[in-house]
Structure 1
Amino acid sequence: MKTIAFLLHNHFEQAEYEDVNNQLKDKGYKTLLITTNDKKEVQAMQGDVDKSDTFTADVLVEDANVSDYDALILPGGTVNADTIRGNGKAHQIINAIYEAGKPLAVICHAPWVLINTGIAKGKTLTAY
């Protein structure tokens, strides 16, 4: 069974995590949640200002092992994506996934991270 990891902080767009997570599970994938937060409880948002549900991460970013994941998804949310852009440990995981040739999916505001990690350099991207 393939394992798909989500990487996020706080104030991520709930639908971009929860809906995608549910669809992957329905298709038989194992999913897990990695956070750059300092605790495992993470806050979802509906839009940029309305707090929504909280979720419990499976792994803190410093304990994540890229070899355990077959793909990585970065949900959006302005604050979430902006926070991950400045997190060196998140960059290490993202770059390791990319360098291993594993799928890397970025949603909404998350492509910002590809600029900060250097992955976007020399590439043409289409994003919302």
Structure 2
Amino acid sequence: MADLTPLASRRILIMATDGFEQSELEVPLERLQDAGADIDIASLKMGEITGWDADDWGDSIEVDLKIEDAKAADYDALVLPGGQINPDLLRVEASAIALIRDFASAGKPVAAICHAPWLLIEAGLAPGRRMTSYKSIRTDVANAGAQVVDEAVVRDANLITSRCPDDLPAFCDAIIEALVDTKAAA
């Protein structure tokens, strides 16, 4: 019988701010919780952050902690939702970039979808890596030194990237797989 909660006792941090792509936060949140993971939302401020849904502001979600207070050592993986606004605001925040680097240097899964690979670029993680992203930033990803491919999900060691909301099933599956793999290796 398949384990219905393969991520039991796993902790995942989702980092986002206002303007996150609604589905790119909510779908991984639900799928990873359903798989048994405990999830925290980190942002630039406490309170609520508001998503972007299609062509207008979407729903809000409660923030659990500030990015500056989050520690990679407390979590098993980092998920970075996209949207245009969210990663553009986060990529100029030193605390956000430092946290991404901490997860990456610890070898923990870092999953970025849509425009969120901008954050991986800013953290210096793109050179020599195989990645995908939303089509409008693929030149940015290539210029940062990554090998860009047009696939639903790309897993290169601990980095997981996807293109858009249509890829969310594959994106979530890859995160779960990476966490199961790291649990098995431990």
| TM-score normalised to structure 2 length | 0.65
The match for 1:29 is 37
Please list the CA deviations of residues 15-46 of structure 1 after superposition, one character each: whole Å capped at 9, or x if unmatched. Answer: 1011110011111111110002x333101110
Indicate if the aligned counterparts of 2:13 and 2:39 stay in contact, CA closer than 8 A.
yes
Identical columns (%): 38
| Among 3, 7, 11, the residue aligned to 1:3 | 11
Rounded Cα–Cα distance in structure 1 between residues aligned with 2:31 and 2:131: 25
Q: Which runs of 5+ in 2 are unaligned?
A: 1-8, 135-186
Q: Which runs of 5+ in 1 are unaligned?
A: none
The match for 2:88 is 82
Higher relative contact order (CA 8 A, sep 6+): 1
The match for 1:71 is 77
DSSP 3-state at the match of 1:73: strand
Indicate if the aligned counterparts of 2:46 and 2:65 stay in contact, CA closer than 8 A.
no
Indicate if the aligned counterparts of 1:40 and 1:60 stay in contact, CA closer than 8 A.
no
1:40 aligns with 2:50: no
The match for 1:121 is 127
Q: How does 1:91-110 map to 2 (within 5 A)?
A: 91-110=97-116
DSSP 3-state at the match of 1:105: strand
Superposition RMSD on alpha carbons, in Å?
Answer: 1.0
Please list the CA deviations of residues 57-102 of structure 1 after superposition, one character each: whole Å capped at 9, or x if unmatched. Answer: 1011111121111000000010101011111000010000000000
Which one-letter code corresponds to 2:109 in the other structure?
P
Rounded Cα–Cα distance in structure 1 between residues aligned with 2:73 and 2:109: 13
